[in-house]
Every structure is written in C-alpha cells, then in structure tokens.
Amino acid sequence: MTEAYVLVQAEPTILPISSRLGAVEGVAEALDVSGPYDALVLTAKESFELDRIVEEIRALPGVLRAIAAPLVAARDRERASVAA
C-alpha cells in the first residue's frame, strides 16, 4: 500500500472543498487548509491507483491544480504527539 498526499489548489468561489474531495474513491482524509494550497488529501491505496485518484481530483469542477507527493518516510505520529 502506498500513502501519498495530494496538494490541491482551487478557485476561491468553490471553497471549502474537502467534502467533495473526500467523496473521491481512495481518499482516506481531506482537509481544508490555508496558504498556497486550499486542501490537503491523504490517500492510502495501491500505488497504481494514485494516478487515477489524482486525475479524479483534477476533474472536479473548480480544481485548478493537484500535485501528488508520495510518502517516502514518516516519523511515528503517536510518539511525536506524546513528545510535543
């Protein structure tokens, strides 16, 4: 299984967009964020499905850009939250 984040930019008129992104099959979590991107999507599917997921996100009305960032390494989230 491959985890990847997808960084999404969208037209301001359709924000927030996380509920629509979350409806895409293969999306594990979708969050509205501020900054240079409007949403952050976490996928957890087989690697060959990542392209399909990103294409479906790009096809959503109002989505301007979607960039996949496959996860290479991750710090243990549970230990990180305890240490914080």
Question: pLDDT tens across 29-76, in order?
Answer: 999 999 999 999 999 877 778 999 999 999 999 999 999 999 888 776
Q: Which one is predicted more confidently, 46 or 79?
A: 46
The number of distinct structural domains making up the chain is 1
Rounded to two decimals, the pTM is 0.83
Give the domain extent around 49: 2-83
* CA dihedral of 27, 32, 36, 42, whole degrees rounded to 10: -20
At a CB cut-off of 8 Å and minimum separation 6, what does 14 contact?
A: 20, 61, 62
Q: How confident is the model at residue 83 (pLDDT cuts 50, 70, 90)?
A: very low
- Indicate which CATH number applies to the domain containing 66: 3.30.70.920
Tokens linked to 5: 């984040």
